Amino acid sequence: MQTATVQPPAPPAPPTPPAAPEAPTQGIALPAATVQPDPPPPGVQVAERFFGSLDGVVIAMMFALGLTLLARLLQSLLIHLSLRRALSANSPLASDLVDKINRPFERPGPADGMGDERNGLVLIAIGLAMAGFGWIQGDEPMLRLALGAALFPLFVGIALLIRRRLAERAALRESAPE
């Protein structure tokens, strides 16, 4: 009689550590995750730098606007407090304060609207300068970007000039004898 000997199963092999990545060599394509995209064209890089720096300018302008509005609010508050004191004391200055409340933020200067013409010309000049900046760059995407940005001051400047001309015509019609 023969006896069969049963051998115990062999223990499992230990796991092999992951292989170290090999340095890429020429002719071997890199996996998609390591491929860098092509850099943007030079005009787009200039536009990103130019308009990226505008963030700080816009924030500073908004801060200045907020301070200006706060100063106007404080000025109105002081005028109202002065008016209350003048009215309670029956002061002759009360009528002057009431007039000041009706026109608190008037600027000295001509009241004929000459500011519209000056502001319109300045806005048109800014729009033309922005368009010229894009043209000098010589890059089509930058030119499109600059022309798009230049449209706002150009149109507002033209609208101010048209408003000035219409106001002049209306003033001539009113002053003309019938």
The pLDDT tens digits for 49-91 are: 666 666 667 777 898 999 999 998 998 888 888 888 888 888 7
Its domain, for residue 146, covers 116-178
> Would you say the C-alpha torsion 48, 150, 140, 137 has a positive or negative sign?
negative
Last residue of a domain, one of 78, 102, 126: 102
Residues 123 and 174 in one domain: yes
Residues 138 and 171 in one domain: yes
Residues 91 and 128 in one domain: no
Res 151: pLDDT = 92
- Is there a domain that residue 155 lies in? yes
Q: Quick one: tokens of 58?
A: 């816009």
Low-confidence spans in the chain with pLDDT less than 50: 109
- Is there a domain that residue 131 lies in? yes
Last residue of a domain, one of 77, 102, 127: 102
Res 58: pLDDT = 77
Residue 18: alpha-carbon gap to chain centroid: 52
- Is there a domain that residue 142 lies in? yes
- Is there a domain that residue 12 lies in? no
The pTM score is 0.42
Distance (Å, rounded) from C-alpha 105 to C-alpha 108?
A: 10
Residues 121 and 170 in one domain: yes
Burial label for 97, CB within 10 Å (0-12, 13-18, 19+), is middle
- Is there a domain that residue 157 lies in? yes
Res 8: pLDDT = 73
